[in-house]
Amino acid sequence: MRDAADPITTKGTRFDMSAASANTPDIKLQVKGLAKLYGHTIALDHVDLEVRKGELLTLLGPSGSGKTTLLQLICGLQEPTTGTVIIDGKDQTHAPVNKRDIGVVFQNYALFPHMTVAENVGFALKMRDLPKAEIATKVAKALETVGLAHAASRSPSQLSGGQQQRVALARCLVYDPAIILMDEPLGALDAKLREVMQIEIKRIHRETGATIIFVTHDQQEALALSDRICLMNEGRIAQLGTPREMYDEPQDLFVADFIGVSSILRGTVKAGRLETAIGALPVAGDTLPDGSRGALVVRPEAITLGEGFCEGRVRETVYGGAELRVIIDAGEQEIIARAPARDFDVAVGSMVRFGWTPDAARFLMDKA
């Protein structure tokens, strides 16, 4: 652990700021004891969540963990079985969708093919009978925000997938909603375009100051985008925190395994060490009672290659330009390490030594 005053990192300062704002919370949205049953399926299991004004929170989790259900309850597309949804301090649990100040962007954005881009973006405002001049101003501003001012008079069929997704976003931004919900909006785009759109979404978030709840099953995307991540599993919140907290301080193995890559070494504590498939390993921190069961979680960047207290056979190497990922079989145990590709290379099938400093591994006790 680095000291909070360590000049190398601003981590300490950041922590202080979040602690201060936690004392005077500016809460935009509050969800209390929210549950949704579909027949016997518990889609959402009594979730409590507070979303701060202006933050970008991602709901992350495997398929079926309840992310979409939570979004639908927040925007009013579904009624909860129990629980409340509070927006700006007001109970909105049963308020109709159009009475909540919420914009929604789905993965399968359906643009009207026979309308221009500008007409698509202005459609809802036209339905609300806003004056023509006002619609034109708002549409122009929304298109500018998403970088499509030049494409206003095109038809959707003349746009790429990424541009169509921007139109869908503009259609939501045009009413200037206080909360924007996005359900896997980048899911249909290829990897390169996803990255471009992630940066765009961060910029739009900064420029509009909107509170954004962004759903994804992609942990990399969540780490890249979020102020905070809410990781869901089986209808519950597994952990909520900043990307750094989620990566550095996972509270259980589900979180450690879902966020980032790690080697997970299970075992039983004996005389202060964890007896695992690859030997008795040091456990940092307080001495644990003999017989405690749990696992050491080691991130790839914490593992040194070429020296150390263990040895294994290289099963696979994955070259990624800047880094070389090395997958090692140490008996039954799989170890995932990585090294700067410029300085390190190793042949598949060869034996390699590896290790880590005890502080770099996190011990997670099995839940009773």
Ligand X SMILES: Nc1ncnc2c1ncn2[C@@H]1O[C@H](COP(=O)(O)OP(=O)(O)O)[C@@H](O)[C@H]1O
What are residue 225's phi and psi, to 5 degrees? -95, -30
Shortest CB 229 distance to ligand X, Å: 14
Phi-psi sector, 183: left (phi>0), alpha (psi -120 to 50), beta: beta
Residue from the set 58, 68, 72, 164 that interacts with Mg ion by CB under 5 A: 68
Residue from the set 28, 52, 67, 228 that interacts with ligand X by CB under 6 A: 67
Shortest CB 78 distance to ligand X, Å: 8
Shortest CB 238 distance to ligand X, Å: 12
Region of 15-23, 60-68, 138-146, 168-176 interacting with Mg ion (CB under 5 A): 60-68
Shortest CB 63 distance to ligand X, Å: 4
Residue from the set 58, 69, 216, 219 that interacts with ligand X by CB under 6 A: 69
Sequence-separated (6 or more) residues with CB below 8 Å from residue 206: none
DSSP string, 306-332: EEEEEEEEEEEEEE-SSEEEEEEEETT
Residue from the set 30, 61, 263, 339 that interacts with ligand X by CB under 6 A: 61
**Distance between CA 301 and CA 332 in Å, rounded?**
21
Measure Cα distances from 249 to 94, 208, 297 in Å: 37, 31, 10
Q: How many residues bind ligand X (CB under 6 A)?
A: 11
Shortest CB 164 distance to ligand X, Å: 22
Burial class from Cβ neighbours inside 10 Å (0-12, 13-18, 19+) for residue 220 reads middle
Q: Determine contact, residues 59/232, Cβ cutoff 8 Å.
A: yes
Region of 66-74, 114-122, 125-133, 159-167 interacting with Mg ion (CB under 5 A): 66-74
Shortest CB 68 distance to Mg ion, Å: 3
Q: Which two tokens stand for residue 71?
A: 């979004």
Parallel/antiparallel/unpaired status of strands 56-60 and 82-87: unpaired
**Could you give the residue ranges of the DSSP H alpha helices within the chain?**
11-23, 67-75, 117-127, 132-145, 161-173, 191-208, 219-225, 243-248, 253-258
Under rule CB under 6 A, residue 65 binds ligand X: yes
Chain centre distance of CA 232: 10
- Report the residue number, 68 or 263, with the smaller CB distance to Mg ion: 68
**Distance between CA 327 and CA 348 in Å, rounded?**
9
**Distance between CA 4 and CA 18 in Å, rounded?**
14
Under rule CB under 6 A, residue 219 binds ligand X: no
Sketch the per residue contact string, 266 through 305, with ligand X: x for CB under 6 A, - otherwise. Answer: ----------------------------------------
Shortest CB 187 distance to Mg ion, Å: 9
- Report the residue number, 63 or 157, with the smaller CB distance to ligand X: 63
Under rule CB under 5 A, residue 198 binds Mg ion: no
Q: Which two tokens stand for residue 365?
A: 């006790």
Q: Determine contact, residues 219/233, Cβ cutoff 8 Å.
A: no
Under rule CB under 5 A, residue 164 binds Mg ion: no
Residues paired with residue 237 on neighbouring β-strands, in sequence order: 232
Select from ligand X, Mg ion, none the partner in contact with residue 41, using the beta carbon and a kind-dependent cut-off of 5 to 8 Å.
ligand X
Region of 28-36, 65-73, 86-94, 190-198 interacting with Mg ion (CB under 5 A): 65-73
- Report the residue number, 172 or 314, with the smaller CB distance to Mg ion: 172
Residue from the set 30, 58, 68, 239 that interacts with ligand X by CB under 6 A: 68
Within positions 12 to 41, which residues make up the interface with ligand X, using CB under 6 A?
A: 38, 41
Q: Determine contact, residues 360/298, Cβ cutoff 8 Å.
A: yes
Residue from the set 23, 63, 157, 350 that interacts with ligand X by CB under 6 A: 63
Select from ligand X, Mg ion, none the partner in contact with residue 43, using the beta carbon and a kind-dependent cut-off of 5 to 8 Å.
ligand X
Chain residues in the site for Mg ion (CB under 5 A): 68
Chain residues in the site for ligand X (CB under 6 A): 38, 41, 43, 61, 63-69
